Amino acid sequence: MVMWPLISFIVIRKDFREYADFVFQEYGGKVKHWITFNEPWVYSHAGYDIGKKAPGRCSPYVNSKCQDGRSGYEAYLVSHKLLNAHAEAVDAFRKCEKIGIAHSPIWFEPHDFDDAQDGASIDRALDFMMGWHLDTTMFGDYPQKMKDIVGHRLPKFTTEQKAKLKNSADFLGLNYYTSTFSNYLEKPDPSKPRFLQDSLISWETKNAQNFTIGSKPLTAALTIYSRGFRSLLKYIKDKYANPEIMIMENGSY
């Protein structure tokens, strides 16, 4: 996974295309299926919104260990540059058989099945986690829910960029590991923007009836919930007109 400081994303589109040209020339005769980026939402969110992964940037109100950063802003900027870099790589790779992005969404169940807000939050949660990069490569722009909520903090694509991004994935790579409960966030704090708050949900390990989701083997780091995998596949099938899906990662670790 590429891990550069924020400043490098100013030139990443040109550099990434040059890199794509090189590897295609070297390996295009042998490799027929390509992935430009693996788990982009994890990279942007964990690296630039909560400071959990390199380069460890975020706002102090999110993580006191972060030395610098701006949560609620940089993650969107990073993904914006990343998506444009993907579009350039696809443009260079068009001679290969298939090219796409590997996404890593989790599935959400409502925290309270009697609360309509919790049920409605699932689509919004998936728009922020998966649609952020999948809608853009399918339809050429961010999900409308993201644009409505994030507002000026979400960068805008030019008409030319939208045209390059639309249908820029021949298949959908999918990494699925776990699921969680989605609880509606009633009172977000606008003075402390961050990705998770923008989606207007909180992730809960137990629902309103105090039940956990799935099961967790002693050797596993994440809860296993196979029903969530089925629900996620059906959601993708219905929303994105049954695209080709390649399972890249699955299980627990």
Give ∠ CA 108-50-126 in degrees, rounded to 5. Answer: 25
Supply the residues annotated as catalytic.
Answer: 39, 249
pLDDT at 63: 94
Q: Exposed/middle/buried for 253, CB within 10 Å: 0-12, 13-18, 19+?
A: exposed
pLDDT at 58: 97
Q: What are 230's two structure tokens?
A: 């089925």
Tokens 């630039």 belong to residue: 48
pLDDT at 4: 36
Kindly report the CATH class assigned to 6-250: alpha beta
> Which residues of the chain fall below pLDDT 70?
1-11, 252-253
pLDDT at 72: 97
pLDDT at 220: 87
pLDDT at 253: 65
pLDDT at 78: 94
Beta strands 179-184; 107-110: pairing state: parallel
Element (H, E) at 13: helix 12-27
Where helices occur in 60-189 by DSSP H, the ranges are: 74-92, 116-126, 132-139, 144-150, 159-165
Q: What are 193's two structure tokens?
A: 């923007």
Give ∠ CA 195-196-198 in degrees, rounded to 5. Answer: 65
For residue 86, give Cα distances in angstroms to 62, 67, 72, 169, 213: 29, 29, 22, 9, 35
C-alpha span between 195 and 187 (Å, rounded)? 15
Q: Does residue 249 sit in helix, strand or coil?
A: strand
